[in-house]
Structures are given as structure tokens and as C-alpha cells.
Amino acid sequence: MDIFDKLGEIIVNLYNSSGLASLDWQNYVMIVIAFVLMFLAIKKQYEPLLLLPIAFGMMLVNIFPGIMGNPSTQLMTLEQLQAANLDPSSYTTSMLDGITYYNVTENGGLFYYLYQGVHLGIFPPLIFLGIGAMTDFGPLIANPKSFLLGAAAQIGIFITFIGATFLNFAPKEAGSIAIIGGADGPTAIFVTSQLSPELLGPIAVAAYSYMALVPIIQPPIMKLLTTKKERSIVMEQLRPVSKLEKILFPIVVVVLVAILLPDAAPLVGMLMLGNLFKESGVVDRIAKTAQNELMNIVTIFLGVTVGATAKGTLFLTPKTLGIIALGLIAFCFGTACGVLFGKIMCWATHGKVNPLIGSAGVSAVPMAARISQKVGQEENPANFLLMHAMGPNVAGVIGSAVAAGVLISVLK
């Protein structure tokens, strides 16, 4: 009988320590959402490099919330310490009411430590270093007017700021929500870590999810705002850009932006450092590391920990859902403003600019440029807009970093 009692006790203990006893319904909803995101990443291949780690982190934290647990300190008396077979000399002490307590610290979960790179704003500039090392700014140098499209797509950020303010979000929170419209995950994380760190989870998840869902969100807006004739416009080939121009570009940009807007310096500085590694051609090994190993490592850590911020009990709240909805509005506004400015440029150049490249002004490199290419080719199979769209696309990266600098300098 004793054996059966023990067995029953073990089974009860096992059940109590399992997710079945401790998880709420919100956790299960988030697990289902994580499955859907994994499906989109694997089957539909929507930005799988981002979406897969995000979805997996989301699933893991909702099954085992302790993986994001903060480190804790427990106060123990000498007797309790000895009873637990712990060495008193290994711990610092505190005096409370004349009694000596030992500060027994317990480590946090694995993702808690990895998340510090997000929380402290370290990962976003490192991602920008990798993006810079992978980006060819040639199309932008060949056609600097693309910068205007990169700037126009940032208007969505500031329009959403007004919307969030009307919905009673505090100014710093509104700024963090609005930056989702830049469609730039690292920038959104950087701004939020500076302005309202408590919103990092929902904002990061929203920003990265919308970046991954660019192929679904953008085309209907692009088609709605353009005519068939405009979508069929074939653009002139870009001029070749010399190596010297490419080398000077990152130096010139970083000097100007850092002087005019110092708050944008961490992001733009690292972006341009990565690009200088690539274009200088003298630090090939470093450039390759920034493009591959470093970028991949940071992406894994960033992805899983961003996903792990989406704990069901904290995530499925009206406020978070409001942030997600506003983020989508910001993203749509950004796309629409880019396309509308593209139409203005089309009119100003007497039809030489295809307005579809305007939507690439939201960052989301290179997905947004690929969408411009795809939508353009649907109308005219002989039309190759990719390189033309890469100009506004990389301008959008710089533009969203500048917009981030504006938000931080005004709201911080």
C-alpha cells in the first residue's frame, strides 16, 4: 500500500509541476498563435529567419514561463542555510530586526539573460551593423532622390503618434507604438527601450510580425492607390556607381546625421560602420563576420527573446491588442504615404518614376523592395523594379533611424 501512496504522490507532484496545472487559458491561446506563426514561417516562408525564432520563443515561454524568470534573492537564516546544505561563507548578509540573514540569490531563466541585449538596447545596433555590411547603397547613391520616398514613408509614424495620443496612451508610449510604422524591428526595439521599456514585448512582437507579413499587408494598399498604367511604368536603368562614391557614402551619412541628430547616432553609426567594412574591401573577414556569424547569432537571441516576451497572461490584454492594432495602422499609413509620394514623384517627373517603389520606403529590407518588384511584374512581366525599389528601401532604414532620433530627442 505504501508503494501505491508514494506512486500517487509522485504523480500528483509531477502534475503540479507540469504546465497542465500552472498554465492559464491565455497561455494556450498564445501557443496556438505561435503554431500559426511557425506555419507561416515554414510553409509560407514569410521572413522565416525572424518569424521562426519569434514563434518558437513565444511557444516556449507559454509552456514554461520560468525561462524568462527574473533572478531573485531569498533571505535565509543560518539555520535554514545549514538545513539546505548551503555554505554560509558563499553569501553576503543583511541585518533585519537584529537578525542576520543570508542573501541567497537564485539565477533567472535562460531567456532572461539573453533578453538583456534587447532590454539594454545592445542588439538593435548590432543588427544594424550586420544590415550595413550586407547592404548595397549603390541604388540610393545613383538616385539620391530616393531619400524622399524613404522620408515620406516615415510620415505614418507621426500620424500614428496622434492616433495613439487620442487613445490616451502617454506620449512616451505613443512614440514607441508609432515607431512600428517604420517597419524596422531593431529601430522599434531601440526606441521602446529608451522611451517605455515596459512595452518592449508587444511592440517588438508587433514590429517583427508586421515585417514578416509585408507580403500580405502591402500589395492591397499599393494596388488601391495606383492605376494599372502607373504600375506598368518601366524605369530607366540606374547609372553605375564608383567604388570611391560607395566608400565615401557611409562616412558622409554618419557625419551629417550624427551632427544633426545625435540620438540617431547609435543606429546610423553602426549601420554605416557595417557598410564601410563592406565597401572599403580591406576588412573582408570582419565584413563577413558582421554579415553572417554576428548577424545570425544576434538574430537568434533577438528572435527567441522577443517571442518570449509574449506571455499569454501579460500579452492578451486590451492595451496590448490596442498596440498591435495601432502598429498595423502605422504600418499601413507608412506604406500609403510612400506610395502617394511616389505618385507625386511620378507626376513631377512626367511618368519616369513608378509609384510602386514608394512602398519600399518603409524599411523592411529587402522584403518591401521585393514586393514592389512583384506587384510591378504582375502588371508588366518585363518590368524590373527591384534595384529602383532598393533605393527607397535602404533610404527607409536611414529615414526610420532619423525618425527614431527625433522621437527620442523630443520625448525622452
Partner 1 sequence: MENINLALTLLIAGFVIVFLVLVVLIIVITLYGKIIQSAQKAASKKHGETDKPAIRSVTREEIEEYDSDEIPEEIIAVIAAAVDSLYGSKPHKIKNVKRSRSVRSSWGNAGIAENTRPF
Residues that bind partner 1 (CB under 8 A): 140-141, 144-145, 147-148, 150-151, 154-155, 157-159, 161-162, 165-166, 170-171, 174-175, 240-245, 248-249, 252-253, 256-257, 260-261, 285, 395, 398-399, 402-403, 406-407, 410-411
Q: What does the alpha-carbon distance between residue 376 and residue 374 come to, in Å, rounded to a whole number?
A: 5
Closest CB to partner 1 among 6 and 243?
A: 243
Please state, in angstroms and rounded to a whole number, the distance separating the CA atoms of residues 372 and 361.
10
| Nearer CB in complex with partner 1: 272/310 | 272
Task: Report d(CA 231, CA 215) in Å as an integer.
Answer: 17
**CB environment 59-91: b (16+ within 10 A), e (fewer):** bbbbbbbebbbeeeeeebeeeebeeeeeeeeeb
Closest to partner 1 by CB, 216 or 252: 252
Q: Which is nearer to partner 1, 91 or 384 (CB)?
A: 384
Lookup: cell for 232:
506598368
* Smallest gap from residue 358 Cβ to partner 1 (A): 14
The three grid cell numbers given for residue 333, joined into one nine-digit string: 499609413
C-alpha cell at 193: 527601450
Q: What's the count of helices (H) and strands (E) in the chain, helices before strands?
A: 23, 3
Task: Give per-residue burial for 299-336: e unless 16+ CB within 10 Å, then b.
Answer: bbbbbbbbbbbbbbebbbeeebebbbebbbbbbbbbbb
Nearer Cβ to partner 1, position 176 or 305? Answer: 176
Backbone angles phi, psi at 105, to 5 degrees: -90, 145
User: 149 with 322: CB under 8 angstroms?
Assistant: no
- Work out how close the CB of 221 gets to partner 1 at its nearest, in angstroms, rounded to a whole number: 20
The minimum distance between CB 252 and partner 1, in angstroms, equals 6
Shortest CB 300 distance to partner 1, Å: 20
Q: How far is the CB of 261 from partner 1 (least distance, A)?
A: 6
Minimum distance of partner 1 from residue 412's CB (angstroms): 13
Parallel, antiparallel, or unpaired for β 99-106 and 93-96? antiparallel
Pick between residue 182 and residue 201 the one whose CB is nearest to partner 1.
Answer: 182
Provide the minimum distance between the beta carbon of 127 and partner 1 in the complex, in angstroms, as a whole number. Answer: 21
Among residues 36 and 162, whose Cβ is nearest to partner 1?
Answer: 162
